[in-house]
Structure 1
């Protein structure tokens, strides 16, 4: 998938070092809202092992990480991931982040829209959801721009990397 000067593709088997660079350069700002990924990518070696795990999850259709790549620099600048996939319904959860240098340009909103359209068509999802802490204004803006509606707030639903347990807003979209 291509838009503007960006390409979206599934994380590949050899993408571990570039994934590590993206996360490591954004680690502090991702810790609270992407705790699972941050905790599994503390070192390059951890990230390479995690990427091997991810390849298994892609084959099992239990996790689909779509990388956003700047075509001009061939650099990973963000991620839109599809997780908590339940093909029995079928439904999934979306998450996303972007490198701090690319923030505020609408890239994640456009990338998320393309990923949503792709996975709904390809995998026939009938519901997608997003979770966001009310402090995460950037993610909430992306979520709302992509047609998700607030379904409610689940109290004490998520542990941040620092150990704080926070409430999460749940947003859904039906297809």
Structure 2
């Protein structure tokens, strides 16, 4: 397995890197700037990064999980400003079935630029080639058209509706859509 400083991919305007302790402050900044975007579908990430101290604890835990191959968190970083602009998780790993789920978010100012699709496509290929996974899932709400579009652009196929799959804070449970990529 690569070490935590290894860059997964470098593109013209952004790069993809595994989570590293150096991202704690940037994680806090990203969450603070994007609180409204994260509160519905990433409430745990939001709650774990409300201040720099919490972000340090969160990042240290995510680095440990990465090194133990329990969950992989990747940061999308702006090449010019070095700011954290998005996250992609490879989570819910089942090594026996060789499957996992991808979850992703992008900062509001970077939405609609194709960055998320490029990152998800790159990390889907990484999960298959480098991690040996055979089935990848993306779970999205049908009204989250950006997320659905990313799944479809990256070759994921709608499989089924998952009743009451996700419960956002202070909301009733939501039916979610399952998109699958299999090799």
Residue 150 (str. 1) matches residue 161 (str. 2) = no
Match for 2:62 among 54, 57, 60? 54
Residue 170 (str. 1) matches residue 178 (str. 2) = yes
Does the aligned pair in 2 maintain the 1:132–1:170 contact within 8 Å?
yes
Residues 74-113 of structure 1 mapped to structure 2, 5 A cutoff = 74-113=82-121
- Structure 2 unaligned residues grouped into runs of 5+: 1-8
Q: How far apart in 2 are the matches of 1:160 and 1:39?
A: 12
What is the Cα deviation at residue 127 of structure 1?
Answer: 0.3
**Alignment length (residue pairs):** 175
Q: Deviations over 1:137-159 (max 9, x none)?
A: 11111011000011111111111
What is the Cα deviation at residue 111 of structure 1?
Answer: 1.0
Q: How far apart in 2 are the matches of 1:147 and 1:82?
A: 17
Does the aligned pair in 1 maintain the 2:85–2:107 contact within 8 Å?
yes
SS of 2:40's partner is coil
Structure-1-length-normalised TM-score: 0.96
Q: How far apart in 1 are the matches of 2:136 and 2:169?
A: 25
Residue 138 (str. 1) matches residue 165 (str. 2) = no
Structure-2-length-normalised TM-score: 0.92
| Greater RCO, CA 8 A, separation 6+ | 1
Match for 2:35 among 27, 34, 46? 27
SS of 2:143's partner is coil
Does the aligned pair in 2 maintain the 1:68–1:79 contact within 8 Å?
yes
What is the Cα deviation at residue 161 of structure 1?
Answer: 2.3
Q: How far apart in 1 are the matches of 2:152 and 2:77?
A: 23
Question: In the alignment, which residue of structure 1 is the partner of 2:18?
Answer: 10
Give every structure 1 segment of 4 or more consecutive aligned residues whose post-TM-superposition deviation is greater than 4 Å: none
- Structure 1 unaligned residues grouped into runs of 5+: none
What is the Cα deviation at residue 3 of structure 1?
Answer: 1.6
Does the aligned pair in 2 maintain the 1:32–1:162 contact within 8 Å?
no
